């Protein structure tokens, strides 16, 4: 009796294992393309130099608000999410050539970018801030005169700084392609001021013992998911964002990653 049961047990377990293996391999096949040729993997790109929106932990894993949101979106769509790390100023080009399906990278939905890509509805809004060393005497826009100001290449802050330079006060400008490098430049006194999104600036200020002040001139649009022009994902993702707003999911992610402004 005992023997019989254990035999049945063995067979059942083997069958389960086989089933699990079979399930796994067919899932992998499905992940790349389903029967109707539809893509089951969604390729997202980001510039993982922008905590708390996107960065890498010590093991190199992506983390942050945008990463959680992208995973949520992919889950809701029933896709597997793949993330590529790129320089921020290469993201729009990657969308235009359709090398990727979407971008979540703290990207502000500007009219200029809308000429080349489509955006979802905005999921977060952050103003801009100027960051300085703690003992700096730069406290207002006027104090920027003759100083050197750093921005990340391809960001709205690069455009914004050019505008301030032209209209308000003259300074030297330096654009680097990585926002962590930007902070390093500030800490090593290669620049006097760094100009970036407020939510990100606040984190660096706290973490690195820096100082800063709000940009009174900025009225930038909020952050949104970007897609290749005409992508069918736009409507689907808007629907998901709407649900996330209504269900409190979006607020949950904000509470997890972002500070009150």
Minimum distance of ligand ARG from residue 23's CB (angstroms): 37
| CB 9 to ligand ARG: min, Å | 53
CA atoms within a 13 Å half-sphere pointing along the CA-CB vector of 71: 9
Nearer to ligand ARG, 124 or 143 (CB): 124
Using an 8 Å Cβ cutoff, are 113 and 158 in contact?
A: no
As measured in angstroms, the least distance from the Cβ of 46 to ligand ARG is 6
Binding site for ligand ARG (CB under 6 A): 47, 49-50, 54, 88, 105-108, 152, 155-156, 179, 197
If the CB atoms of residues 47 and 120 are measured against ligand ARG, the closer one turns out to be: 47
Q: Which is nearer to ligand ARG, 106 or 203 (CB)?
A: 106
Task: Count the neighbouring beta carbons within 10 Å of the beta carbon of residue 113.
Answer: 20
Q: How far apart are the first and last CA of the chain?
A: 70
**For ligand ARG, the closer CB: 126 or 136:** 126
Return the structure tokens found at 103: 């971008």
Round to whole Å and give the CA distance between 82 and 32. Answer: 11
Q: Which helix (H) or strand (E) holds 212?
A: strand 211-214
CA 246 – CA 25 distance, rounded (Å): 37
Residue 47 CB, nearest distance to ligand ARG (Å)?
Answer: 4
Q: How far is the CB of 246 from ligand ARG (least distance, A)?
A: 25
Q: Please report the beta strands in 13-170, taking only residues with DSSP state E, as ranges in sequence order.
A: 41-46, 55-56, 62-63, 80-85, 102-103, 117-124, 128-132, 148-152
Contact (CB, 8 A) for 124 and 65 = yes
Q: Which is nearer to ligand ARG, 197 or 215 (CB)?
A: 197
| Contacts of 111 by beta carbon, 8 Å cutoff, 6+ apart | none
Residue 239 CB, shortest distance to ligand ARG, in Å, is: 24
Pairing mode, strands 148-152 and 193-197: parallel
Among residues 132 and 155, whose Cβ is nearest to ligand ARG? 155
Would you say 54 or 143 has its CB closer to ligand ARG?
Answer: 54
Q: Output the smallest distance, CB 178 to ligand ARG, in A.
A: 8
């Amino acid at each position: 009796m005992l023997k019989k049961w254990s035999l049945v047990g063995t067979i059942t377990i083997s069958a389960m294992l086989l089933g699990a293996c079979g399930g796994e391999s067919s899932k992998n096949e499905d992940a790349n393309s389903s029967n109707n040729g539809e893509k089951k993997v969604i390729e997202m790109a980001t510039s993982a130099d922008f905590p708390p929106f996107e960065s890498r932990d010590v093991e190199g894993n992506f983390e942050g608000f945008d990463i959680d949101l992208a995973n949520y979106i992919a889950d809701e769509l029933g896709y597997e999410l793949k993330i590529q790390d790129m320089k921020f100023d290469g993201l729009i080009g990657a969308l235009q050539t359709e090398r990727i399906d979407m971008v979540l990278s703290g990207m502000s939905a500007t009219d200029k970018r809308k000429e080349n890509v489509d955006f979802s509805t905005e999921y977060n809004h952050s103003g801009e801030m100027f960051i300085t060393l703690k003992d700096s005497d730069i406290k207002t826009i006027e104090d920027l005169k003759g100083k050197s100001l750093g921005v990340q290449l391809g960001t709205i802050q690069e455009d914004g700084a050019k505008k301030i330079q032209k209209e308000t006060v003259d300074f030297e400008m330096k654009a680097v392609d990585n926002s962590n490098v930007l902070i390093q430049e500030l800490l090593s006194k290669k620049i006097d001021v760094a100009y970036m999104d407020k939510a990100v600036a606040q984190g660096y200020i706290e973490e690195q013992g820096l100082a800063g002040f709000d940009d009174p001139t900025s009225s930038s649009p909020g952050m949104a998911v970007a897609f290749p022009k005409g992508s069918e994902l736009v409507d689907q993702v808007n629907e998901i964002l709407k649900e996330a707003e209504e269900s409190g999911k979006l607020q949950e992610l904000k509470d997890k990653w972002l500070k009150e402004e």
